[in-house]
Amino acid sequence: MAAVIAQDPRIAVHRSTLADGRELIAFDDADTTLGEVRRIDERDLDPRPATAHMRQDVLTGDWISVASARQNRVFLPPAHLDPLAPQTPGNPSEIPGSYDVAVFENRSPSFGPALAGPDVSPLDLLDATRSIGLERSLPSVGRCEVVCFSPEHEGSFGTQTVSRARTVIEAWAHRTAELSALPGVQQVFPFENRGEAIGVTLGHPHGQIYAYPYVTPRTERLLDAIDAYGPTLMADNLARELDGPRVVLRGEHWSAYVPFAARWPVEVHLVPHRHVPDLAETTLAERDELASVYLRLLRGVDALYDTPTPYIAAWHQAPVHERRDDVRLTLQLTSPRRAADKLKFLAGSEAAMGAWIGDVAPEAAADALRAAIEGVQV
């Protein structure tokens, strides 16, 4: 299970609850201008929706959470009704007052708010999700959180300062550790969706964290690959990539590269040099460097074209209760943008069969991204 190696004493943490009982956690920048006093949420809110349920696809073993409450989520609101901005008399948003970085439980979650019983073995729960049977259904236990990178209405992670980026990284590490300790949670996934082309419904700079009650299909495939190759798979792959032509960014603790078999027109992996299973187990020095390295990468991606590039930034972390010495923390950034005015859509081969066809040679993509990164400043 994840264990925080260190917590940055420069970044203060404030806990409170929203009017319906959901948890709100504020993280202050090291150079914050905010005071200690925080406003209380005084809204009159409806009760939280019941925990969703998930159904197993018997042909694949995959679990699908059926969370009907998500149909009611806000869709591209104007700035004066931004639900992630600080509350005002005309905007009863989710966050009572000003903040630097704020994390709160999603009002319409795909998983949770219910958790597994504390007396049930985590490995027994894991075995239950890997069994196959007809019309199997389980509660969608777990937790979903929203991570607000800034109180501003527009932007993304890449538009933040180095200090703010460092605060968000500290929040990711903090939440990974705490969510990993919740009963029934098997994997913790921080991510950012950026751009309407990806399906973003809020322009406010934010990401999310899902705490799943099972090990996700993507990670199950990785575990199968490790079993077929051997426990050094991820270390050997990183060593080969760092010695090859697709490296786009290299630091003391982190490097980024376009993978040998990239699926997307823009696809980059950002990986720590030493084996780290998740963000909670990174050191303060690793988090410090990540703040600037990650910003350089994101700004390089935006420098590829004249307009911001839509992307999904996915932090793949090791399962909570198994294989932590095998699975290395990896940031996978992908974008469907294959030209300034063209997107890659998943058609028959990719969507139906999972058989991908690449539009751009990974070496050419690496050359373009490396040149773009060289021109950006952080």
Q: What residues are annotated to the active site?
A: 206
Indicate left, alpha or beta for 20 from its phi (over 0: left) and psi (-120 to 50: alpha): alpha
Instruction: Give residue for tokens 């793949």.
Output: 316
Give the three-state DSSP class for 88. Answer: strand
Q: Is 229 helix (H, G, I), strand (E, B) or coil?
A: helix
Place of tokens 């090859």: 244
Q: Name 158's Cβ contacts closer than 8 Å, sequence gap at least 6.
A: 295, 298, 299, 301, 302
Across the strands, what pairs with 55?
64, 137
For 285-321, the DSSP string reads: HHHHHHHHHHHHHHHHHHTTSSSPPPEEEEEE---SS
Return the beta strands (E) in the chain as ranges: 13-17, 23-27, 53-56, 63-66, 101-105, 137-139, 143-148, 187-194, 206-212, 247-250, 254-257, 266-272, 311-316, 330-335, 337-339, 342-343
Query: Could you tell me the strand order of the sheet in which 266-272 lies?
Result: 13-17, 23-27, 101-105, 143-148, 206-212, 187-194, 311-316, 330-335, 266-272, 254-257, 247-250
Distance from the first to the final alpha carbon of the chain: 34
What 3-state class would DSSP assign to 211? Answer: strand
Check if the beta carbon of residue 308 is closer than 8 Å to that of residue 162.
no
Look at the block and give the residue holding tokens 């690959």: 225
- Name the token pair of 152: 């501003």
Neighbouring residues of 289: CB distance < 8 A, sequence distance ≥ 6: 251, 252, 253, 254
| 362, amino acid identity | P
Residue 250 one-letter amino acid: R
